[in-house]
Amino acid sequence: MKFYYFHLMPYIMDHDEPSSWVTLSNRHYDPAVGHTLYNQYLDQFEYAEKLGWDGLCVNEHHQNCYGTMPSPNVMAAMLVRRTTRAKIAILGNGLPLRENPLRVAEEIAMLDVASGGRIISGFVRGISAEYFSTGVNPTHSRERFYEAAELILRAWTEEGPFPFDGRFYRFHYVNPWPRPLQKPHPPVWCPSQGSSETVEWAAKRRFPYLMVFTPIKRIAQIYGEYREACERNGYRASRYQLTVNVPVVVAESDAKARELAEKHVMWVFNTGLRMHPPFWRPPGYITEASLRRLLANPPVLPSDLTFEQADREGYLIYGSPATVRDKLRVFADELQAGILCTAMNGGTHERTLELMQLFAEEVMPHFREDAKVDETAGVGR
């Protein structure tokens, strides 16, 4: 199994506002605190590489305390020069949120060239609330996503200049300098919530599918759908196409880990993902068919998720190293997930570094049968 260290770069705070997204006033953001946080979080990434993590994951979110990385490419750029081995996975750029997707093609190519080909490029639509903070029409989201992805992939792989005439994006000269170093292009991942349209789209292109903060039963179901879609497209899914993002808390004892998880992991769900209900469901962001599936079996709102339910349904992994190893076996052996992305938060920077070290020393080595395998070979492109 491959291990990727994932960070939201949250601005952790408590508040009584109805939403941590879009409307939570940025007067709560203290740049001096932010300075310390950014540097601690970047230190954690660099430490993760030293400890043996295979990849480092950054991501794009706007206008909230949940994740303060509106431009993931900026953070990736800092990591490129401070690391030498780990993959840098940008999970991802919100393609429809950009007015000009060629900027994504250019920035990823810059990072890929500068890093010596260590970049993984996630393509995402951006979550529902981001259509409120960017003003992009959510009814265009899906179509803009497909069109932008097509444009970026062509910009990376076809010799320029060529013209592009889409519904949303139009250029007479597509000819980005630099071109990416990896051939035919950096691996593309699809972090998603499991809409059947995206599963099919990703499977067709061998783009790895990443399930984020999802109960384990649903991960199993979507993995099944993804594998079937790969079969329909004439190939068998590699385990490195099945990736998962689960928060992990490992500590000296189960009780200690539980205490940390109840506080710090549940902050992400209960506060970080607290959202004014309309922000969850902008009009036209999902298809009516997807909406009906959702309503027939409504998922619990993250803000209503209790620790007991999160524990029971596998939203997180916590425990002593031995317990964490056992829980991780379910992901590695039963779900056959090839890559685990995980954030860690011990409450303080120092404690977080300790958790990371404990995980790297006591858990990771037990899952290293594939140490010599390149997880990006033959997938994502």
The binding site for another protein (CB under 8 A) comprises: 22-23, 132, 135-139, 276-279, 281-284, 288, 291-292, 295-296
Minimum CB separation of residue 19 from another protein in Å reads 10
Rounded to whole angstroms, the Cα distance separating 104 from 20 reads 27
Residues 6+ apart with CB under 8 A from 78: 42
Minimum CB separation of residue 1 from another protein in Å reads 39
Minimum CB separation of residue 291 from another protein in Å reads 5
Q: Residue 129's CB: how many other CB atoms inside 10 A? A: 25
Q: Is 320 helix (H, G, I), strand (E, B) or coil?
A: coil
In terms of Cα–Cα distance, which of 381, 374, 377 is closest to 54? Answer: 374
Which parts of the chain fold into alpha helices (H)? Answer: 31-51, 72-82, 102-115, 130-134, 141-157, 196-204, 216-232, 254-260, 266-267, 277-280, 288-296, 307-313, 321-329, 349-362
Please state the separation of Cα 201 from the chain's center in Å: 18
Complete DSSP assignment for 338-373: SEEEE----SSHHHHHHHHHHHHHHTGGGG-TTTT-
Q: Which residue shows structure tokens 């469901």?
A: 281
Minimum CB separation of residue 239 from another protein in Å reads 36
Length of the chain: 381
Residues 6+ apart with CB under 8 A from 128: 138, 279, 280, 281, 282, 285
Q: Residue 188's CB: how many other CB atoms inside 10 A? A: 23
Minimum CB separation of residue 292 from another protein in Å reads 6
If the CB atoms of residues 177 and 297 are measured against another protein, the closer one turns out to be: 297
Minimum CB separation of residue 130 from another protein in Å reads 13
If the CB atoms of residues 140 and 351 are measured against another protein, the closer one turns out to be: 140
If the CB atoms of residues 132 and 213 are measured against another protein, the closer one turns out to be: 132
Minimum CB separation of residue 14 from another protein in Å reads 23
Minimum CB separation of residue 379 from another protein in Å reads 34
- Residue 47 exposed, middle or buried by CB count within 10 Å (0-12, 13-18, 19+): middle
If the CB atoms of residues 21 and 213 are measured against another protein, the closer one turns out to be: 21
Rounded to whole angstroms, the Cα distance separating 155 from 185 reads 10
Minimum CB separation of residue 276 from another protein in Å reads 7
If the CB atoms of residues 70 and 284 are measured against another protein, the closer one turns out to be: 284
If the CB atoms of residues 143 and 374 are measured against another protein, the closer one turns out to be: 143
Q: Is 102 helix (H, G, I), strand (E, B) or coil?
A: helix
